Structure 1
């Protein structure tokens, strides 16, 4: 089922092709143990996307949490992903809330890390989370062709910025590195990792990493709604250690926070 403008309809009558016209600002919310996790971070990012798009809508007036909980109740969700979309056309604004397919990492993925590849591409406006079918279609094709978990985006100057649906961190000599917020779509899991680094006084440098310098790093990981915090074992042909002690300590703290709160 789908909630369209707060009315329940059959999702079989719905297609995301409608988002090919106009502007669609969206969020993907993770449901864990029947609850939307870190929802305040999603709402803050949604509010930022709306403001950056010069749209006069106040997130607090949308009562999003109530609508999400209603869908969770109707779908009897315990775990999964929900997509929240505001679709703007010249004459109206529509709101859509619905479950989407997800691909969560396996225990083996968390233990051994996942394979990724790189691709020269970048978001036109990385601070706004909007539906970009061109980028998504291209990266989906690469994921299928290469049978990898994620595609990392490299900008025209050779900097590693983010994943197609995740943020990326690197570790070298116990120091965490990630691209500054202005170069990426700032994910909610990324925000939690940054908070942990500050709270635990883990050394952190918010600076871009050059693709050519990847071999000098000890470990790498991605963060996102589905992967949460997930080690990388390879980027193209470059290997990384999923057993890095700084990475494992961060993961321990992150998942402990998740389980204690939700």
Structure 2
């Protein structure tokens, strides 16, 4: 029941009590998932999330059995039956080995960064691990458990994944960007999950005429970087003040421009979809 945050969840076409969640929470098989942020009753960047869900199904050779409009209606229904219009919602498409298929939608606990975190940045550390299929949003319980344990042990906000060749890929639950001089860097899309916030950060950079380059950064070269920041559904744009023992500039002017630009995109999206 801990995973399901609010009173009710959706299981296939039924509304269930959260007290029953453990009976229906999928164990085994393969699960595709998305986590959406609800702001003022609006599922933020919903079209992008549904498109990524379809992409995850395609690259894993699985098939979604619901149309986009049906998924969208279930999201709004979940908000209505819980009378909750903010927070994070998780969608799961589960495929069992016996070929049975199940869908779940439910609110999960959200932990948005504090004002101090945005102003002072957060601590991170390097963690050597690779996702099996970085382009698909597939539940990987072992990697999630390992990185969560690492984050707790190090008392940090996020673990930055480093691949077998020593290159930074992404965060355990976020996208990582770097700033050096007047240029912004992030890992090539083939190496990471196609993050939705990542997409809009790149859009902001284009709008502001900031050079954004998809280029791998070796973990031994991070002391050459001026600033790092995290982006994702919950953190939005969050400065990093430290990677392991290396300090980062949190007052970078390019970083500030990107933060403001991204916040403006969110406001425009919510106003258009209300």
TM-score category, normalised to shorter length: over 0.9
Superposition deviation, residue 17 in structure 1: 8.9
**Matched position secondary structure for 1:204:** strand
Partner of 1:10: 17
| Distance (Å, rounded) in 2 between the aligned partners of 1:255 and 1:18 | 34
Superposition deviation, residue 12 in structure 1: 1.8
Partner of 1:93: 101
Inter-CA distance 65–17: structure 2 relative to 1 (3 Å threshold) = closer
Q: Does structure 1 retain, via aligned residues, the 8 Å contact 2:167–2:216?
A: yes
Structure 2 length as normaliser, TM-score?
0.92
From 78, 82, 93, give the equivalent of 1:75. 82
**Matched position secondary structure for 1:63:** helix
Partner of 2:4: none
Gaps of 5+ in 2: 1-7
| Distance (Å, rounded) in 1 between the aligned partners of 2:66 and 2:190 | 22
Superposition deviation, residue 58 in structure 1: 6.0
| Distance (Å, rounded) in 2 between the aligned partners of 1:9 and 1:259 | 33
| Distance (Å, rounded) in 2 between the aligned partners of 1:78 and 1:94 | 25
Superposition deviation, residue 200 in structure 1: 2.3
| Distance (Å, rounded) in 2 between the aligned partners of 1:208 and 1:158 | 10
Partner of 1:232: 240
Partner of 2:178: 170
**Matched position secondary structure for 1:254:** helix
Partner of 1:181: 189
Superposition CA RMSD, Å:
1.5
From 154, 165, 182, give the equivalent of 1:157. 165
The answer as to 2:120 corresponding to 1:120 is no
From 45, 63, 87, give the equivalent of 2:70. 63
Gaps of 5+ in 1: none
**Matched position secondary structure for 2:228:** strand
Partner of 1:251: 259
Partner of 2:113: 105
| Distance (Å, rounded) in 2 between the aligned partners of 1:19 and 1:163 | 25
Count the aligned residue pairs: 262
| Distance (Å, rounded) in 1 between the aligned partners of 2:108 and 2:123 | 24
* CA deviation vs aligned residue, 1:115-157 (integer Å, no higher than 9, x gap): 1111100101001101100000001111111221111101111
Superposition deviation, residue 29 in structure 1: 0.4
Q: Does structure 1 retain, via aligned residues, the 8 Å contact 2:45–2:269?
A: no
User: After the TM superposition, which segments of 4 or more aligned residues of structure 1 sit over 4 Å from their partners?
Assistant: none
**Matched position secondary structure for 1:249:** helix
| Distance (Å, rounded) in 1 between the aligned partners of 2:197 and 2:61 | 26
| Distance (Å, rounded) in 2 between the aligned partners of 1:173 and 1:16 | 53
* CA deviation vs aligned residue, 1:73-128 (integer Å, no higher than 9, x gap): 12222321000000001221100000001110001111111011111001010011
| Distance (Å, rounded) in 2 between the aligned partners of 1:64 and 1:216 | 44
Superposition deviation, residue 60 in structure 1: 2.9
